[in-house]
Amino acid sequence: MNKKSNLTADDDSVANGKPDEEGGVRPLSSALKTLEVLDVLGASDTPMRLIDLARSVDGSRATVYQRLLTLVRAGWVELTHDGLYRLSLHAARVGDAALAHASLGDRAEAVLRQLADTTGETASLAVVDDGLIRIARRAEPHGVLKAELRVGAVLTLDGSASGRILAAFLPQGTLDTLVRAGGMVADRHVIEAARQTGYATSSQRDMPDVMALAVPVNDAQQQCYAALSLVGPVSRFDAQALLGPLRDAAAELTAMHQRQHIVVRRT
């Protein structure tokens, strides 16, 4: 006698490897829509109302409420005393774990803090995340982190020093992904200069009183995976004096990545 299967339609598709129209296993659309709500909350500086979340994801209040309830029960979102929704500390812990898994955890933060304290300028580490350039770690001199310069902020590909250095040194496939997502690459002369010198400065287009200097950070295969930068007021910013400490810190991050790669291969 055959046992009755408890597989759902989606489970059956996974179990049998049934392809969708694109040749792969179908993702759970309900999960994707729930994660979309999580992304909206993560991009907001303040807790959000249900009605505003519904508008952001173009969904009904009842449906979005159900997704929020799921996220609350799972521990990713919490409801404030005044009826607003915000990310929980669980989301922050998972984010820290992701950074640690990518070799951008506590050890990388220590390098940034030392760089910031040594130079007196803000140190940032930027990586490619979901087709955008985002700040993964940031440290102010003496360990003070300013809210307006928070981790997760998006940088431009053409105007920021980090964007320019990533455009110059990222693997071509990764750069193509950034461009397809809408990123504009700086003038080819700017990119070529970055490749020749190994560093890039910001355009000052959006913030004329602020200057940034960035260098590449490589992984164990000597491919660029991040940009390390220093940012400060134009009035005191000495790029040539800052370049040495910046490169030393980038080399330390690269060595850290290589050491971890060796440990992983041995285990």
The pLDDT, as a whole number, for residue 207 is 82
**In the structure encoding, which two tokens stand for residue 179, read together?**
């461009």
DSSP H/E element including 111? helix 106-119
The rounded average pLDDT for each run of 10 residues, N- to C-terminus, in the chain (267 residues) is 41 40 75 93 89 95 96 92 88 69 70 94 88 87 56 86 94 82 86 96 86 92 89 93 97 82 40
Which residues belong to CATH 3.30.450.40 in the chain? 93-266
**In the structure encoding, which two tokens stand for residue 39, read together?**
């992304």
**In the structure encoding, which two tokens stand for residue 16, read together?**
């049998």
Whole-prediction pTM value? 0.62
Q: Spell out the residues 6+ positions from residue 119 whose beta carbon is closer than 8 angstroms to its own.
A: 141, 230, 242, 245, 246
Contact 70, 34 (CB under 8 A): yes
The pLDDT, as a whole number, for residue 128 is 84
Orientation angle between helical segments 61-74 and 29-43, nearest 10 degrees: 80
The pLDDT, as a whole number, for residue 190 is 93
Question: What is the C-alpha separation between 210 and 160, in angstroms, rounded?
Answer: 11
Which residues belong to CATH 1.10.10.10 in the chain? 25-87
Q: Spell out the residues 6+ positions from residue 91 whose beta carbon is closer than 8 angstroms to its own.
A: 38, 42, 76, 77
DSSP H/E element including 45? none
Cα atoms found within 13 Å of the Cα of residue 97, Cβ hemisphere only: 6
Domain range 93-266, CATH class: alpha beta
CA dihedral sign of residues 172, 177, 178, 184: positive
Question: What is the C-alpha separation between 166 and 228, in angstroms, rounded?
Answer: 10
Q: Which amino acid is at 163?
A: G
Q: What architecture is the 25-87 domain classified under in CATH?
A: Orthogonal Bundle (1.10)
Q: Spell out the residues 6+ positions from residue 224 whose beta carbon is closer than 8 angstroms to its own.
A: 165, 166, 169, 170, 171, 216, 217, 218
DSSP single-letter state for residue 252: H
> Where are the extended beta strands (E) located within the chain?
77-79, 85-87, 122-129, 132-139, 154-155, 200-201, 210-218, 224-233
